Chains A and B, each alone.
Chain A
Amino acid sequence: MDRLNDIINIVSAIHVDMTWFLILSALMMFIGIYGFLTRRNTLAILISIELMLNAADINFAAFNRLLFPDGQEGYIFTLFSIAISAAETAIAIAVMINIYRNLKNNFVGNLDKLKW
């Protein structure tokens, strides 16, 4: 029980404020960037991009709460962002299916037919 109390004390000492949200979104952003830089599969790269987009969305929402508690701007931007990322995903996946049809795989290293 002592340990539980200790934990409770520590947690209650933490004040979750704006900074925490921003740090979370920054970490999420760089996780996405890391994935973008290291993955070879186009779908995996797309997944990393979704991570980055989500980090940005969190920032939109958080800043809206911080700066305009009574306004809707960030809120609506987040909605648009979700819509656009959905659209982007649809197109990207259509392209990937096409790539797969032509190359029988999805690796960016093989996508060099336009170079020569």
Chain B
Amino acid sequence: MAQTIVFLVLAAIILGCGIMAVTTKRIMRAATYLMFVLFGTAGLYFLMGYTFLGSVQVMVYAGGVVVLYIFALMLTGRQDKKENHSVSLAKKFAALLAALYGAGLFMFAIISHRFAENILTPPSEQTASVKVLGEQLLSSGRFGYLLPFEIVSILLLACIIGSLIIARKR
């Protein structure tokens, strides 16, 4: 009951803020709405019992990525409080139709498949614990993710260097 209410509230926040984020004229507001969407998503993770994932979401996404957006907006700021190069109404309408058609198609597929299983019961201690997760991430065994982990770390390193090089002043 309480979970249902929480889910509905989160869903409302996510969808409402998502729609606002893609329709608002002001880019700063769009970034802010995105932040609410990301918080909502983190809430969903918490609701499913994936507390570590939720906190990563909050830290990396809502904390890091959105801050990056805000900074970028401030750096490139002046020109466009509003989008003066807006798309034509016809194109907007075409995109809306495509999106609605796709969403309808997906919902039809999902509902007709009947996933009637409750996934809101908290998971077992063992699966959700950070200790197990950490061991699995750093193990090279059968369910180990050491190699992807290292690759991702190299990727992040490369990204740091790359973005520094791209964005530096010449």
Contact = CB atoms under 8 A, between A and B. Distances in A.
Interface string A79-99: 110111111111101111110
B142 interface: no
Counting chain A CB atoms within 10 Å of each CB, the highest count among B7, B34, B38, B160 belongs to B34
Contacts of A18: 115-119
Nearest to B96: A34
Contacts of B57: 57, 82
A48 B22 contact: yes
A31 B18 contact: yes
Nearest to A68: B127
Contact of A71 (B37, B95, B110, B127): B127
A1 interface: no
A62 B119 contact: yes
A109 B30 CA distance: 20
Interface in B17-54: 18-19, 21-23, 27, 30-31, 34, 37-38, 41, 44-45, 48-50, 53
Contacts of B156: 83, 86-87
A32 B152 contact: no
Contact of B53 (A61, A86, A87): A61
**Which label, helix, strand, loop or mixed, suits the secondary structure of the B interface?**
helix
Contacts of B91: 37-38
Given A20-B7, A76-B137, A83-B152, A28 B92 contact: no
Contact of A54 (B41, B95, B143, B159): B41
Interface of B: 1, 3-5, 7-8, 11, 14-15, 18-19, 21-23, 27, 30-31, 34, 37-38, 41, 44-45, 48-50, 53, 56-57, 60-61, 64-65, 68-69, 72-73, 75-76, 79-80, 83, 85-87, 91-92, 94-96, 98-100, 102-103, 106-107, 110-111, 114-120, 123-124, 126-127, 132-133, 136-137, 143, 145, 148, 152, 155-156, 159-160, 162-164, 166-167, 169
Interface of A: 11-12, 14-24, 26-35, 37-41, 43-44, 46-48, 50-51, 54, 57-58, 61-62, 65-66, 69-72, 75-76, 78-80, 82-91, 93-98, 100-101, 104-107, 109
